[in-house]
A and B are shown apart, each in its own frame.
Chain A
């Protein structure tokens, strides 16, 4: 009993450290003071200001569309790759596994600027296609890992069963493999969405001039002058991400392991 109490106390302290800054930020977004000063007076004025701020809204829409595009492309590419991986006996497989996790080992700072250098070497201006590709490159490993985790826990002999019942390969993929993979594809897609939507560094390096995303706007206002609207924007961002993560966990309840890099 004593052990349990000590255990919960320690866990509570760690969670306090983890959640206190986030919760304080969220609380401050409802505070009337312009300088985050106490005492706390409830007010929705920063959310109202946020709703009227067309720059922030436009940036959020850009973030949303890039994240949606990234999610769709990542899921399609990852699913295709994994369908190949389960069937192949090719020696290339080890190399391709390494290639897919490569973007996880290199800091996004270096990945982003190397893509910037690629653009300059090719003599192309920054554009949304390259920005989207950048987001896909850094989000793809996560989608692949989620789908892979699902494939590893699946009994692949049902594919053979399907074949022995006379289904051709395409029918098997369409009627057996894809439906079974669907939850993982959905979870992988949401994960890619979250990573892209939050991704500041890649966008910072590759965004065409004159455009911005929500994280870029947040960074700019932290760096160049304080606006309390950012508390409101950050709170919305945190809340949206949290909801998405809960959704992914519900979809992939069977295994939490894919959350590991």
Chain B
């Protein structure tokens, strides 16, 4: 069998050389004092933890990601529930309708929100015409709210699809059994349906929370100074300041946070399953 190892080696070598090795190089750079030369040092990491601004930005990034995940969950669970339990006829069409924007450019979708939210933008005009807001502008653009709205828009389809898949697997016989044991609809939902769909919820949370931590385009376009996140620090270090070593250290810290949150969330899934 292992004569066929040539079949898999191109893909594996490519991934090793251009995905795994670069990560190690990144760690190495994060430990250098100056550019490609310099001596080994932990100063870059020390800088990160000593300057309050970076810790504050990291905390803000985590908070924004939590908000995005929570709002996505609040939108997605009812949507998935509706698709599985209330609408049978159109659910494939709905699934398709949710999938299509999900694969279209994130950049363009963030830009679309900029168009909608800016002062004198469409939303501003419409709300004023409907007399829902007064003469003062909406003032949403260049705030963290704009970033959160766009990120929910970009990431919540992941959540709908994973919850949908887990709700679809819930055995209707269990629901019937719960009813026949005199449980009301709410009790049935809380004690039967919700626990059974937990793996879907956790997977969905991973798929929304993890990419949220690494964004920089959406905050750059929509966030202004109030909405900056840690991903932007990394981009700035590489493109504006040429502080590659510090940038590599921040990237590695971000990666550690991502891996840690994935580990915690997936352990949660295992415990509940």
Give A residues with C-beta under 8 Å from B.
Answer: 3-4, 6-8, 10-11, 14-15, 17-22, 24-25, 28, 35-38, 77-78, 80-81, 83-85, 87-90, 96, 99-100, 102-103, 105-111, 113-118, 120-121, 133-134, 136-137, 140, 144, 191, 194-195, 198, 200-201, 205, 215, 218-219, 222-223, 230-231, 234, 237-238, 241-242, 245-246, 249, 256-257, 259-261
Contact = CB atoms under 8 A, between A and B. Distances in A.
B18 A200 contact: no
Contacts of B248: 113, 117
A156 B2 CA distance: 19
B11 A18 contact: no
Interface of B: 1-2, 4-5, 7-8, 10-12, 14-16, 18-23, 25-26, 28-29, 36, 75, 78-79, 82-83, 85-87, 90, 92, 94-109, 111-116, 120-122, 125, 153, 157-158, 161-162, 165, 207, 210-211, 213-217, 220-221, 231, 234-235, 238, 244, 247-248, 251, 254-255, 258-259, 262
A245 B11 CA distance: 25
Contacts of B99: 245, 249, 256, 259
Residue of A38, A113, A194, A205 with most chain B CB atoms under a 10 A cut-off:
A113
A96 to B, nearest CB: 6
Given A110-B26, A200-B107, A19 B101 contact: yes
A99 B112 CA distance: 35
Given A7-B86, A37-B120, A103-B19, A18 B153 contact: yes
Contacts of B121: 36
25 contacts: A3-B86, A8-B87, A11-B94, A14-B79, A18-B153, A22-B104, A25-B108, A36-B121, A85-B8, A89-B1, A90-B1, A100-B11, A100-B15, A109-B231, A134-B18, A136-B14, A140-B14, A191-B103, A238-B105, A242-B100, A245-B103, A256-B96, A256-B99, A259-B103, A260-B161
B14 A114 contact: no
Contacts, number: 245
Nearest to A218: B107
